[in-house]
Amino acid sequence: MISGLLIDIDGVLITNDRPIPGAVDAIRFLKERRVPFLLVTNTTRKNRQIIWHHLKRQGFVIEENAIYTAPMAAVQFLKSRRVSRIHLLLTGSTIHEFHDFKVTAGNPEYVIIGDLGKDLTFDRLNRAFRMVMKGARMLALQKNRYWETAGGLTIDAGAIVAALEYATGKRAVVVGKPRKEFFLQAVQMLGASPDEVVMIGDDVEVDVGGAQKCGLKGVLVKTGKFRQNILDRSNIQPDLVLESIAQLPQIFEKFH
């Protein structure tokens, strides 16, 4: 039986800031059937409130607390360790999620790394590198290799994290998908057990593989960053592959 769903946003519900055909109806289907769901995203440029407002403008009927993001997971991680001083290698509204911390370039405890897009410069990267070499730890919001934009596949935060790991010889802690704790926290928020939850995503490694390692079912959609050749090369076998989120009812037909 399916007690709840975790659903990625970019590439599953929206692409290029527009709803994927059938996505709004899919969310309406879940609400009509009173199926608990949580939208889980590795997006690092927007905070939850901005994401929520954007989805509402696109016609999605959801509540703000139905969204769980990698930056939110990072805040939980830092507070659980009583961290007070951080440096943000971030851009966009995500920086507002860290208002409870002292943001500093002077001896931070952690450097928080996300996708910078066009705001990535050598100076910003080198400044973060020097902080880590002086003792700061690295906390990556996610380590995705790429994502889908209007111009095609685009380098994501993973490339920045990998560059700093290579240069410093140190490893970053990753708090977003596919980190086990991220999935289990989301499952707990649903009030379900992992074996009764399905994760729907467009990334076979991060979404499907990460979920399966935690005991969830992993469903892959052929939208967003999906590429058939990547699936063919992967050793990860999705529990179900759908053309898009519009075929969501098939999940309940398969797992009943």
Residue 10 is predicted with a pLDDT of 94
pLDDT higher than 80, residue 146: yes
**Residue ranges of domains in the chain:** 4-42+177-254, 71-174
Of 116, 115, 107, 117, nearest to 87 by C-alpha is: 107
Q: Candidates 3.40.50.720, 3.40.1260.10, 3.40.1190.20, 3.40.50.1000; correct CATH number of 4-42+177-254? A: 3.40.50.1000
What's the angle, vertex CA 105, arms to CA 102 and CA 109, rounded to 5? Answer: 60
Distance of CA 111 to the CA centre of its chain: 19
Paired tokens of 72 = 């939110």
pLDDT higher than 90, residue 150: no
Distance of CA 56 to the CA centre of its chain: 19
CB 108 within 8 A of CB 136: yes
Mean pLDDT of 39-44: 95
User: What is the percent of the chain where pLDDT is above 70?
Assistant: 100
Of 98, 117, 108, 115, nearest to 138 by C-alpha is: 108
Q: pLDDT category, 230, cuts 50, 70, 90? A: very high
Residue 149 is predicted with a pLDDT of 83
Q: pLDDT category, 11, cuts 50, 70, 90? A: very high
Mean pLDDT of 37-64: 95
Kind of pairing between the strands at 152-155 and 217-221: unpaired
Q: Residue 106: how many CB atoms within 10 A of its CB?
A: 9
Q: Do domains 4-42+177-254 and 71-174 have the same CATH topology?
A: yes
What does the alpha-carbon distance between residue 142 and residue 174 come to, in Å, rounded to a whole number? Answer: 6
pLDDT tens, 71-115?
999 999 999 999 999 999 999 999 999 999 999 999 999 999 999
What does the alpha-carbon distance between residue 37 and residue 5 come to, in Å, rounded to a whole number? Answer: 5
Average pLDDT across the chain, whole number? 95
Q: pLDDT category, 120, cuts 50, 70, 90? A: very high
CB 214 within 8 A of CB 194: yes
Mean pLDDT of 155-181: 96
pLDDT higher than 90, residue 16: no
Fold (topology level) of 71-174: Rossmann fold (3.40.50)
Of 16, 19, 36, nearest to 196 by C-alpha is: 36
Residue 202 is predicted with a pLDDT of 96
Distance of CA 155 to the CA centre of its chain: 15
Q: What is the DSSP string of 205-234?
A: IIIIIHHHHTT-EEEEESSTT--HHHHHH-
- The pTM score is 0.92
pLDDT higher than 80, residue 232: yes
SS3 241: strand
pLDDT higher than 90, residue 121: yes
Residue 17 is predicted with a pLDDT of 86
Residue 201 is predicted with a pLDDT of 97
pLDDT tens, 184-218?
999 999 999 999 999 999 999 999 999 999 999 99
CB 116 within 8 A of CB 140: no
